[in-house]
Amino acid sequence: MKKVLETKIMNKAGDSPITLNAMEQNVVNRNQTIANDLGYKIDITSMTAILKRVVEQKFFEVSPADYMPVVVGEGAWSTELTSYRSFHLADDFETGVINTGSDNSRLATADAALDSVTVKVINWAKTIGWTLPDIQHASRAGNWDLIIKKEEARKKNWDLGIQKIAFLGIEGNSQVRGLLNQVGITEDTTTITKPISLMSPAELKTFVASLIAKYRNNTLRTAWPDVLTIPESDYLGLASQASADFPMKNVLQLLEEAFQTITKKPGFKILPLTYGDADYNNLGKQMYALYSYSDSSTRMDIPVDYTNTMANTLDSFSFQNVGYGQFTGVLAYRPLELMYFSHTL
């Protein structure tokens, strides 16, 4: 009688088998099917032609530096970055008025103070590996370079990770926050109660009149904004005409020109941001951010940009290398110069 070999999954110590329930076994079988489908072993027939073109996977991508200052290379290999903030301490100007007829009168003083803010630096590293048979097998697939594709996958993983952290931080890690979930930022829930693209001409007029005014009040008249991010779903509707009676400009043109005039900043821009949509963030609401694009106001640091080591081997058969880098979350150094507006759908 032929003996059937049974495969057992053992625990870490190797002394006790692990039993999978029906659901777990289904998940394993499904993952194995996917793994078998993603490889260079592909069944072909004598009538099959393999094209030179390789269709690459696509991702949602946005450059964080278009939305905020991203400083690269400063403070490499630090565990945290500390910035000092200077403050002026003085009473009202009028307290400096003196009476020359009074002897030994005490003069009012002016002084300066210093505090600091610190942002945590995060280390990141991932490895890729390959063997000689891997390279030989992949070479038979035509113009598909295994090592290059592995490296591209790791670099893309870094890029997409930095992108998400720039706007949402690391979920569950209060030391790594993004542009949209800073602590201690004023959040207004009354100015934008529905998508801007759905506002009537009268509502748009009220919106333009109040948005910058609220920002100026929030900053105690010390700063003007030059960036407004809005959920992409709302941005896509801004190409419609602002008024049916005077269809000369769309809503986006009207708003940008109005804000550029009010702030006296020709570079004021309205930017679409997918992470502002409730469906793409963990905030549960539509998020709009109004702020000043300045590295002394809000910024993200990448002390060590993505770097990879040379490939090494111990046996000239298996090879590997490491890609690594350092990054921080976003920090609002001047919290009053960042303001949130939000509403729920």
Query: How confident is the model at residue 2, as a pLDDT?
Result: 45
Q: For a pLDDT cut of 90, what percent of the chain falls above it? A: 61
**270: β partners:** 228
Contact assessment for residue 64 and residue 163, using Cβ atoms and an 8 Å cutoff: yes
Mean of pLDDT over the chain: 85
pLDDT digits (tens, 9 = 90+) for 129-165: 989 888 887 776 666 788 888 999 999 999 999 999 9
Query: How confident is the model at residue 111, as a pLDDT?
Result: 79
- Rounded Cα–Cα distance for residues 146 and 152 (Å): 10
Average pLDDT over residues 104-122: 84
Q: Is the pLDDT of residue 73 over 90?
A: yes
The more confidently predicted of residues 43 and 233 is 233
Contact assessment for residue 176 and residue 120, using Cβ atoms and an 8 Å cutoff: yes
Structural domains for the chain: 72-89+110-345 (3.30.2320.10)
Query: How confident is the model at residue 46, as a pLDDT?
Result: 60
Q: Any idea which residue has 């058969």 for tokens?
A: 317
pTM, full prediction: 0.80
**125: β partners:** 324
Query: Confidence class of residue 4 from pLDDT cuts 50, 70 and 90?
Result: very low
Q: Is the pLDDT of residue 118 over 50?
A: yes
The more confidently predicted of residues 104 and 210 is 210
The more confidently predicted of residues 19 and 220 is 220
pLDDT digits (tens, 9 = 90+) for 204-230: 999 999 999 999 999 999 999 999 999
Q: Any idea which residue has 């070479």 for tokens?
A: 139
Query: How confident is the model at residue 309, as a pLDDT?
Result: 93
- Taken as a whole, the chain contains a residue count of 345
Query: How confident is the model at residue 241, as a pLDDT?
Result: 75
Query: Confidence class of residue 94 from pLDDT cuts 50, 70 and 90?
Result: confident
The more confidently predicted of residues 55 and 249 is 249
Nearest CA among 184, 227, 266, 225 for reference residue 68: 227
pLDDT digits (tens, 9 = 90+) for 24-34: 666 566 555 54
